[in-house]
Amino acid sequence: MTKTVQSLERGLAVLELLNRHNGLTSNQVAKRCSLSRGTAHRMLETLRAEDYVLRDELSGAYWLTLKVRGLSDGYIDELWIASIVRPKIEQLGRKLIWPVNLTVPSGLNMMVRAATDYHSRLANYRIPTGWCTSMAGSASGRTFLAFCSDKDRNTFVDLISKTSASPRDEVVRDPAQWRKKLSEIRSRGYDTQVSDENMTAISIPIFEKKHAFACLTTRYSSLYIESLETALERFIPELRSTADEIGEQYAKRTTTRNQYSDTDQAIN
């Protein structure tokens, strides 16, 4: 049987107790968690030192701070993807028939966070969630770089040019051509890329306020849709409508988080 860390178990028990009954004294925590008064006090003071709780000097009661919410950020992120993004791109996938995915920057790549490939009967190959592609060498990556903040773009491009050995990233090493390419993407509002499998990707940005934080992409086969103009006319309006909806939901989510953060700073 694997041994557990008793002090961690006690600390979690204290957090769980305060989550249910916020504003307890160390004596009350000791009693309800079956701890000695000294142990309860040390647990609470450790949590206070790490800014997870604060202590009212008059009553001696301990209260959780909103920093505790940060412990659930990963879960909240997955919940947002599951509850907001997936339903919207699945609805879009049913309209377009072709596969759709949402990508976000991950290191110097773009990572697929949600995809409809396994629901599309026209996907000749399937891209799974978690799949990564080159940032500078993909339609979604170039679209993100064209519409993200100047600071983020400069950081990403500098790191790509210095560290990447991929032929797909060579484009960033010609500053004039790279600036021209990004200018063209910004002008038309999307980017495209043709793969070896006769598949063409069309990618558009998803905005939080005025900068891109993700991209929405669909892929279609030139064996079925010969003209890029026809594909753009069919796909771009639907992609933009869904991207706007996702961006609006994301903005609400981040606004709520910032309010929590500001309140937490004020309390501390």
- Tens-of-pLDDT digits for all 268 residues of the chain? 566 788 888 888 999 999 888 889 999 999 999 999 999 999 999 999 988 888 887 788 898 887 776 676 666 677 788 888 999 999 999 999 999 999 999 888 999 999 999 888 888 888 888 899 999 999 999 999 999 999 999 999 999 988 888 888 888 989 999 999 999 999 999 999 998 778 999 999 999 889 999 999 999 998 899 899 999 999 999 999 999 999 998 888 755 444 434 434 443 3
Residue in 46, 36, 37, 38 with CA at minimum distance from that of residue 11: 46
How far lies 67's CA from each of 11, 50, 75, 267, in Å? 15, 9, 15, 11
Torsion angle, alpha carbons of 20, 24, 30, 34, to 10: -20
Predicted TM-score (pTM) of the model is 0.71
- Structural tokens at position 195: 């793969």
User: Concatenated DSSP letters for 191-226?
Assistant: EEEE-TTSEEEEEEEEEETTEEEEEEEEEEETTT--
Instruction: Report, in angstroms and rounded to the nearest whole number, the Rg of the chain calculated over CA atoms.
Output: 24
C-alpha span between 193 and 26 (Å, rounded): 62
Q: How many residues does the chain have?
A: 268
